[in-house]
Chains A and B, each alone.
Chain A
Amino acid sequence: MTDWLPKDFWTRNETLVAGVIMLFCFVATVSDPRFLTITTVSDLLRASIVIGILAVGAMLVLVSGGIDVSFTAIAVFAMYSSTVLSLTIWPEIPWPVIFVISVVFGAALGAINGFFIAFLGLPTLIVTLGTLSIFRGFLLTFIGSQRISDLPPSMRDFSRGVIARGTTEAGNFYSIPWAALALLFVIVLTWFILKKTMLGRSIYAIGGSVESARRIGINVKWTQFFVYVYVGALAGLAGIIHGSVGRMADPFSLVGLELSVIAAVVLGGARLIGGYGTLTGTMLGVALIVIVQNSLIVIGIPTTWQSVTIGILILLGTGVPAYRAKRAAAQAG
């Protein structure tokens, strides 16, 4: 890594995804010059916040060698139940408190996943498929199934807070909300955990090979448990931001988004078999999915083709490296 560019710069997924994003932006700007403005950029950034935080969590799970499909249900559960709790007990609650409550709810639900996966050794996909429907079923049966639009006032205050706002020369309004800082915070915190702590190195190690990790003395069970609790906490944060910014606690939102989020992470180069995944790649993957979801129409593709486009991107983005790995393995063998 002494060179200016990493050795595998031209072959890694990050480069491929960044290239596709630039190509997309180029085509979009040519077909509609208004595309490349601060308004579009701030719109896309706002759309990336919740997906971005969820994607960081999903990446961590993939790095550890598992897969989690329940985080959207955790997010909506934590958001809705902390909102209901605040409204009944303390409607004047300051927003940092309700955020903490939601994060704690999320972490608690994540601990349930962690218990079954780390301590009972069940397959991650099956456990999280099960808890997805348990969390969602419990929320809608026992906590509520009504949309709440009169949120605690502090949540509305949070959504009004902006880092920067203004009007372009053409008269288009733009704003970058505080919530963007939450995404930044999550990225920095996760980067720190992954790169600077023993825990983070352990997550990569168990994703690479559980048996080797165990033999060099890593506590596999507690590391796995931590991953699911942390992912639950991130989901709780993403959920409450989603509720605050959207100014509505909707128990039917978010669930269904999990596969797009995982798709974004996988596009960014994280591998399903574990041990590999970067924050840069994840954010590029999120950017690509968000751009495709919001701007397909700008380059002249009707929105009804959105699903097909994302599906093909997933197949190409994961198929090319998988095919290359298969060829390399065949040549080596």
Chain B
Amino acid sequence: MNTSVKDFTASPEFRLLIIMVFVFGLMSVLSPDRFLSSQNLTSMAFQFPEFAILALAMTIAMMTGGIDLSVVGIANLSAVVAALILTHFSNAEMPAAQSAIWLAIAITAALCIGAIAGLINGSLVAFFGLPPILATLGSGLVFTGFAIAMTGGSAVMGFPDTVALIGNATLAGVPVPLILFAVLAFLLHLVLTRTAFGLRVTMYGANPLAALYAAIDINRMLLKVYVIAGMFASVAGLIIMSRANSAKADYGSSYLLLAVLIAVLGGVNPYGGYGRVIGVVLAVLSMQFLSSGLNMLGVSNFARELIWGALLILVMVINTHAVTALRSSLKPPK
């Protein structure tokens, strides 16, 4: 019992919990009437899921020691395809039931695009032996490029009202994007901790060679990892589309950095082998509190970018040195 408490307080997740509580407390003190208002809390709950889901996608890729730089490209391509289906086949005069069917078809198409894109990434990494950075850098350009080619670079808009359900509605008072995020986060947590697949992902990330000798079907596993990342990205794309009420090839370009930042901040090891969904969730909340709080204090977007970057490096320094300290404390005493 004593040791498990000690383990917990030494974990990156515990440090994150403290950071999150600290940021929340700081913002509440600095701007109590505005930061703690129910209006702000609701608006935060609508804002963060779109990039938080991209961070989950990044998390599973990073668990294998890879990275997925194409998540924003996949999100926008999925959204553009869904948007084109919606604008071509449905309109405001259509009965609600009929437009709901088209919405379902558009969502399915978007998820398929995410899965296919993930399959492409996974094949490049698994069968062609491309380093994940290059594979997803190249494929990200291709996905974005297709979205540009399909739309001529302009935004697709003019959706039926039902589309707003994904990004702007509430279910029993809880924002739908928040529910989507919670479900995906919980699913990813279960997959990583309760399934054989999750164990393989962690093993492969920790030591690819050992995983090879343990007769793990690595190619199959990598394909699944990138397909999951791709489908998560397409869900994020649908949320962005619904909230912006349009789809465009270059939406959310700042989200790529943010997704990497959140995953690393959440304690996911970019070399693979370690990562917990709870850490990512805490990191997302810290970032959102920081972002909304700074916004209320009148800090510009550019300064926010500066603070995010500084936070990323600071956390990496702390984590790297905490890991080094932990390793040296585990060595047998001389």
A interface with B by C-beta (< 8 Å): 67, 116, 120-123, 125-127, 129-134, 136-141, 145, 256, 259, 262-263, 266, 272-273, 302, 304-312, 314-315, 318-319, 322-323, 325-326
Contacts and interface: CB of A to CB of B under 8 A. Distances in A.
Contacts of A256: 253
Given A311-B141, A323-B129, 8 more contacts: A122-B316, A122-B320, A125-B133, A133-B309, A136-B305, A256-B253, A308-B141, A319-B135
B306 interface: yes
Interface stretch (B14-22, B179-187, B240-248, B256-264): B256-264
A116 B313 CA distance: 8
A121 B320 contact: yes
Interface string B136-172: 0111111111101100110000000000000000000
Interface residues of B, number: 47
A325 B149 contact: no
**What 9 pairs between A and B have smallest CB-CB spacing?**
A137-B306, A307-B145, A311-B141, A308-B145, A133-B309, A311-B142, A326-B129, A140-B302, A314-B138
A125 B310 CA distance: 14
B309 A134 contact: yes
Nearest to B256: A129
A304 B302 CA distance: 30
B300 interface: yes
B101 interface: no
A120 B302 contact: no
A120 B317 contact: yes
A127 B313 contact: yes
B303 A137 contact: yes
A141 B320 contact: no
Contact of B302 (A123, A129, A145, A305): A145
Contact of A67 (B133, B145, B316): B133
A311 B121 CA distance: 13
A123 B269 CA distance: 10
Given A136-B305, A304-B152, A129 B124 contact: no
5 contacts: A129-B260, A136-B306, A139-B302, A266-B134, A322-B129
Contacts of A263: 137-138, 141
Interface of B: 67, 124, 127-131, 133-135, 137-146, 148-149, 152-153, 253, 257, 260-261, 264, 270-271, 300, 302-310, 312-313, 316-317, 320-321
Given A263-B137, A311-B145, A132 B303 contact: no
A309 B309 contact: no
A126 B270 contact: yes
A80 to B, nearest CB: 13
B139 A120 contact: no
Nearest to A271: B131
A interface: dominant SS = helix
Contacts of A273: 131
A315 B142 contact: yes
A141 B306 contact: yes
Contacts of B303: 137, 141
A120 B318 CA distance: 10
A183 to B, nearest CB: 25
Nearest to A325: B129
Contacts of A311: 138-145
Most buried by B among A139, A145, A304, A309: A304
A312 B144 CA distance: 12
Contacts of B133: 67, 125, 272
Of B128, B130, B313, chain A has the most CB atoms within 10 Å of the CB of B313
A130 B142 contact: no
Contact of B124 (A307, A309, A315): A315
Nearest to B120: A315
A263 to B, nearest CB: 7
Contact of A125 (B152, B270, B302): B270
A133 B139 CA distance: 23
Nearest to B253: A256
Nearest to B303: A141
Contacts of B257: 129, 132-133
A314 B128 CA distance: 13
Given A129-B260, A323-B129, A122 B317 contact: yes
A273 B307 CA distance: 31
Given A263-B137, A306-B145, A318-B138, A126 B264 contact: yes
Nearest to B67: A125
Most buried by B among A131, A134, A145, A273: A134
A130 B309 contact: yes
Contacts of B308: 133, 137
Given A273-B131, A305-B145, A133 B305 contact: yes
A126 to B, nearest CB: 6
Contacts of B316: 122-123, 126-127, 130
Contact of B148 (A259, A262, A307): A307
A304 B313 contact: no
B261 A134 contact: no
A134 B137 contact: no
Contacts of B261: 129-130
A123 to B, nearest CB: 5
